[in-house]
Amino acid sequence: MAGKKQQEFVKEITPMEEDFSRWYTDVVLRTDMVDYAPVRGCMVIKPYGYGVWEGIQRVTDSRLKATGHKNAYFPLLIPESYLKKEAKHFEGFAPEVLWVTHGGNEELTERLFIRPTSETIVCDMYSKWVQSYRDLPLLINQWCNVVRWEKTTRPFLRTAEFLWQEGHTVHAEEEEAQEETMKILEIYRQVAEDELAIPVILGEKSEREKFAGALKTYAMEAMMHDGKALQAGTSHNLGQHFSRMFDIKYLDRDGVLKYAWSTSWGISTRLIGGIIMVHGDNRGLVVPPRIAPIQVVIIPIAFHKEGVLDKAKEIKEGLEKSFRVEMDDRDTYSPGWKFNEWEMKGVPIRMEIGPRDIENNQVTIVRRDTLEKFTASMDNLTGTISGLLDDIHDTMFNKALKNREEKTYTTTDYEEFKRIMHETPGFVKTMWCGSGECEDKLKEETGATIRCIPFEQEHIGDKCLICGGKAETMVYVAKAY
């Protein structure tokens, strides 16, 4: 019975080997994470998808607060003149800005734009708040939505409106701003690797790929199951660009008025797309246990029989003290249907409790990551589950790392590189001369980009992949989402 049902369910998700993009869309829709909104490119994040976002928020916010950052909120609407203050920033964002031109029937005297990011308004406020060295450092983060009018969109990965956190800090010294930029990148690494079980490569972005208006952009890049890269978080050292344009000055100890140094950084709901594409399989989602909205789902079996439901409730109450637990005691669905449903939703642990389990003082456990099924004693279930969740996290991380390693290649031969991109897409470790023309050519001819200049440099060769000229910089190249 369960076998037949299972097949029907799996049919609703296109196998990833057949069409990865269809598989992705099937998974996000079928698991109730999102729905399409009436405005093209927007998404409705449904409770299960939002629960994953709340998990990411929780593990990020606690780390930001522990390092002295405080949350605030800045307005959604910003005057047009602000965007124009920083030329490069304007150039970078203008093509995707959404404008507000009317209030009711009246045309506004100055157009307003909906934030694609908030540097402009935050820096304007900071110019009022920062007077003296005593006001520094200023370490503020905000959780909010932003709008970027993208032409092609995909749920979580690229949407016109998305949710994120954006941090904006101001410092007295140049080194402090650089330290902050790196500190945040390390926090992002922890979130990705230690919480989401996604291995990342850390490095610096090239001139062409850096944030509009930044001095330096650092990023973490993750490999998706299909070998493509996802920029999973960025941290920018803005130098003095924005403080000069927005006049953020402070009176230093020596009585001299100086321009401050600033940073900005963010991670977004894109990460949810990353979770899906790194960990998911043909059965659906596999949600990393530390941020999973539901870590354990309890399914009572034959619960019309006396004592089963009571025992299941008792176990649930015990586990709820330490974990996020849900019990599915709907009598309108069969156990087989429920197994499939929760498997598809990627809940890390499924626990079945039936009359025979109770007789034997045990529960039946199924891990979502490996689909292993086994029994565990009802005594010390908290310890069992805790250990199991850690093991699931490690297993998921190692599996993702293995996939990345298998799909990482090394070459400085352009023809071989093209063949790799065409036949077995992945990350290519190679050398680059540093020129923007080579970057443009690479993108034009292969669709791939320099993902980052990794901190961990390796000597691969002496010649640039693209022009064959002298090259001293090792880079990761890949096609990206």
Phi and psi (nearest 5°) for 43? -135, 150
Q: How far is the CB of 450 from Zn ion (least distance, A)?
A: 11
In sequence order, the 6+-apart residues with CB closer than 8 A to the CB of 415 are none
Query: Residue 191 or residue 433: which is nearer to Zn ion going by CB?
Result: 433
Give the per-residue contact string, 56-95, with Zn ion (x = CB under 5 A; - = no).
Answer: ----------------------------------------
For residue 261, the cross-strand partners are 171
| Interaction of residue 467 with Zn ion, rule CB under 5 A | yes
Query: Residue 240 or residue 473: which is nearer to Zn ion going by CB?
Result: 473
Q: How far is the CB of 459 from Zn ion (least distance, A)?
A: 17
Which residue in the set 245, 464, 475, 478 belongs to the binding site for Zn ion (CB under 5 A)? 464
Which residue in the set 185, 351, 433, 450 belongs to the binding site for Zn ion (CB under 5 A)? 433
Cα within 13 Å of Cα(118), Cβ side: 26
Beta strands in 66-122 (DSSP E): 70-71, 77-79, 98-103, 106-114
Which residue in the set 114, 125, 466, 478 belongs to the binding site for Zn ion (CB under 5 A)? 466
| Interaction of residue 358 with Zn ion, rule CB under 5 A | no
DSSP at 195: I
Q: How far is the CB of 472 from Zn ion (least distance, A)?
A: 11
Query: What span, in angstroms and rounded, lies between the C-alpha atoms of 33 and 44?
Result: 9
| Interaction of residue 438 with Zn ion, rule CB under 5 A | yes
Q: How far is the CB of 441 from Zn ion (least distance, A)?
A: 8
Contact 172, 250 (CB under 8 A): yes
Return the structure tokens found at 460: 């691969």
Query: What span, in angstroms and rounded, lies between the C-alpha atoms of 248 and 131?
Result: 8
Stretch that binds Zn ion, among 106-114, 159-167, 179-187, 437-445 (CB under 5 A): 437-445
Stretch that binds Zn ion, among 35-43, 58-66, 211-219, 463-471 (CB under 5 A): 463-471
156: left (phi over 0), alpha (psi -120 to 50) or beta: left
Q: How far is the CB of 466 from Zn ion (least distance, A)?
A: 5
Stretch that binds Zn ion, among 236-244, 275-283, 298-306, 425-433 (CB under 5 A): 425-433
Between CA 246 and CA 254, with CA 251 as vertex, the angle to 5 degrees is: 145
Closest to 261 in 3D by CA, of 167, 136, 129, 165: 136
Stretch that binds Zn ion, among 36-44, 228-236, 270-278, 429-437 (CB under 5 A): 429-437
> What are the residues binding Zn ion (CB under 5 A)?
433, 438, 464, 466-467, 469
